[in-house]
Amino acid sequence: MSAEASVLFDAPGPKARARYRLIAIAGGLVVAALLVWLVLRLADFPAPVGRTPNNQWAPEKWLPFLQPQTWTSYLLPGLWGTLLAAVTAVVASLFFGLLLGIGRLVQIRWVRWACGAFVEFFRAVPVLMMMLFAYYAGLFLLKITGAALPFFGVVVGLTLYNSCVIAELIRSGVNNLPHGQREAGLAIGLTPLRTLVTILLPQAVTAMLPSMVSQLVVILKDSALGSMISYLDLLRSGTYLSTAYGNLIPTMIVLATMYILVNSALTRLAGWIQNRLRRGPRAVAAPATGGMVPSVASEPVVPATIMPPPEQRER
């Protein structure tokens, strides 16, 4: 086995590297061909016989995005609706997810079972079904009307599902910590709950932050399901725009670009927060030596034995 071998398999040889290179080139050509075919089909090329070509790349399809009315009447209000629902659901999901995660880790058995049943149930229900349930519950039980009704349905549906996912992330993060962390807290006189809250949870949240950030991005994308219950988000505003101007494909491309930019900004912000947390008070500082380098301890001097060696003893 070569020195560059990984844990699972040996490093590829010259023939294997050449084969992998050919497969990569062939895959790239196939993807490029599919992209060219897609571009031509969107351009309605070749032109059909007997009907007017529907070229999605025509300038008149993209000119509405250069008009201020398109942004002020459609895209920006939809983006605000998406961000408002997502931010509200993120805050609520973090709060209830933290409570459910603590509930699944406490020593009280009935609390642990109740939180576990709640988490397992709502993790198994589709998000759209929970939005519909919250929408009709708000309509018939809480008597919510107007624009607040679809907003209530979107936020409650996203919160119910994503708080359960965050609770599982917190529980797995705490369980993956070394057992000595909990034992150290109990040894200094802390109660199990205080040990969990002050010692285990901060470390678990820091360790599971990448997974939690991924779940927050999922919340932002799942908010598009709110268009099914008439919530005015970015997707529904784009649907109205494409209906008004007859440019469905360009509108979807612009909406996808906006979603990618927002999710990328959220990911970068979360990465910055993660780096700040890891450079925080948990960083181990070097011991102060006062500018002096400690010398290596010398071997102890062992005194000579009083009793003479055996060959020198009198018989």
Q: What is the pTM of this model?
A: 0.75
Which pLDDT score, from 0 to 100, does residue 2 have?
46
* Residue spans of the chain under pLDDT 70: 1-9, 46-53, 277-278, 280-315
Which pLDDT score, from 0 to 100, does residue 43 have?
77
Measured from the Cβ of residue 62, the count of other Cβ atoms closer than 10 Å reads 16
Residue 110 φ/ψ, nearest 5 degrees: -70, -35
Q: What domains can be seen in the chain, in order of their start residue?
A: 71-278 (1.10.3720.10)
Query: Are the CB atoms for 209 and 274 separated by under 8 Å?
Result: yes
Which pLDDT score, from 0 to 100, does residue 290 have?
45
Alpha carbons within 13 angstroms on the beta-carbon side of residue 63 total 5
pLDDT tens sequence across 43-76: 777 666 666 667 788 888 899 999 999 999 999 9
Alpha carbons within 13 angstroms on the beta-carbon side of residue 54 total 8
Measured from the Cβ of residue 219, the count of other Cβ atoms closer than 10 Å reads 24
Quick one: how far is CA 305 from the chain centroid?
70
Which pLDDT score, from 0 to 100, does residue 200 have?
84
Sign of CA dihedral 77, 82, 84, 87: negative
Which pLDDT score, from 0 to 100, does residue 286 have?
42
Which pLDDT score, from 0 to 100, does residue 289 have?
45
Helix ranges (DSSP H) in 71-126: 76-103, 109-124
State the Cα–Cα distance between residues 230 and 212, nearest whole angstrom: 28
pLDDT tens sequence across 86-132: 999 999 999 999 999 989 888 888 998 999 999 999 999 999 999 99
Sign of CA dihedral 159, 162, 165, 170: negative
